Each structure stands twice: as structure tokens, then as C-alpha cells.
């Protein structure tokens, strides 16, 4: 299963971003492939928060637009939304301690833990911070799709 990070979702949804066309193609290809793919719930929340933020986008997405984008992704029959299970806290602690991370980077550890506990084989992101978690296989699909 392929996991998708917030950045790719934002790039796919916002036409003015440099990576829009490529990110949109990545998501459409994945959704239409029938292969299992996943979005961690924290990435859904972060996506909605990011695209509706007036300090980042002028104009920002309306809440209706942001929720509609998520609803459209959820229509893909091969999409799995990742949530915390019984092993989540132990996995989160293990990743945080091993990578010696604190503060805001705990968010990344949470996403990595969700992916690992739910069987994500590869996490697609443009965020290099995920390299702090060597047990999670990370790939930037934007480079490969150019």
C-alpha cells in the first residue's frame, strides 16, 4: 500500500503551486490504478487546515472546497484512511526516541507510526524530514513523474 503525505494533497488541490500538474497526475493515477493507497487522518486534517489558510493562499480554499476535495479522494474504492490502533503509542514513542525528535516534528513521527502500523510499504512525500524514520520507506513521486 502507498501512503500519501499532506504536501502532495495540497499541491494536487492548488493550481498555483509549482507541482500542481504533477501531483494531480500522481493522485489520479494512483486512485484509478486499483492499487491500495492510503491517507493518514492527520494528513486529511492538515490538508484542510493548510488550503483554507488565508496567510498561505490568496484566495484560500473555502471549507466547502477543501472538504469536497477530501470527499472526492474518498470515492476511490482503493483508498484506506489510516487511524491509530492499539500499537500506535508504542510505535510513536519508538520512532520519536530513535530519531531524537521533539516539538512539531512529533507530527511527522505520528504519520510515520500510522503508516508503519497499517502496513504502508511506501510513503510518498516531498518532505525530507521523513528520512528521520529509516523503518519507513519514503519516495518523492514528483521527481519520477516529470
Q: What are the extents of the domains in the chain?
A: 2-144
pTM attached to this predicted model: 0.94
How large a percentage of the chain has pLDDT more than 90? 97
Cell (9 digits) for 55: 496567510
| The CATH homologous superfamily of the domain defined by 2-144 | 5'-nuclease (3.40.50.1010)
User: In three state form, how does the secondary structure of 109-136 look?
Assistant: HHHHHHHHHCCCCEEECCCHHHHHCCCC
pLDDT at 144: 72
pLDDT above 70 (res 145): no
- How far is it, in rounded angstroms, from Cα 118 to Cα 3? 10
Q: Measure the CA–CA gap between 88 and 93, rounded to whole angstroms.
A: 9
- Residues 92 and 113: beta-carbon distance below 8 Å: yes
Amino acid at each position: 500500500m502507498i501512503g500519501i503525505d499532506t504536501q502532495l494533497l495540497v499541491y494536487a488541490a492548488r493550481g498555483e503551486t509549482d507541482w500542481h500538474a504533477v501531483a494531480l497526475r500522481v493522485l489520479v493515477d494512483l486512485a484509478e490504478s486499483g492499487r491500495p493507497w492510503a491517507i493518514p487522518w492527520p494528513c486529511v486534517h492538515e490538508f484542510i487546515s493548510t488550503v483554507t489558510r488565508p496567510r498561505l493562499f490568496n484566495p484560500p480554499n473555502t471549507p466547502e472546497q477543501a472538504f469536497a476535495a477530501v470527499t472526492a479522494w474518498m470515492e476511490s474504492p482503493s483508498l484506506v484512511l489510516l487511524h491509530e490502533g492499539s500499537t500506535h503509542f508504542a510505535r510513536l514513542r519508538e520512532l520519536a526516541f530513535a530519531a531524537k525528535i521533539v516539538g512539531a516534528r512529533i507530527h511527522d513521527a505520528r504519520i510515520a507510526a500510522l503508516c508503519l502500523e497499517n502496513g504502508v510499504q511506501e510513503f510518498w512525500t516531498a518532505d525530507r524530514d521523513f528520512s528521520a524514520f529509516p523503518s519507513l520507506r519514503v519516495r518523492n513521486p514528483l521527481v519520477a513523474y516529470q
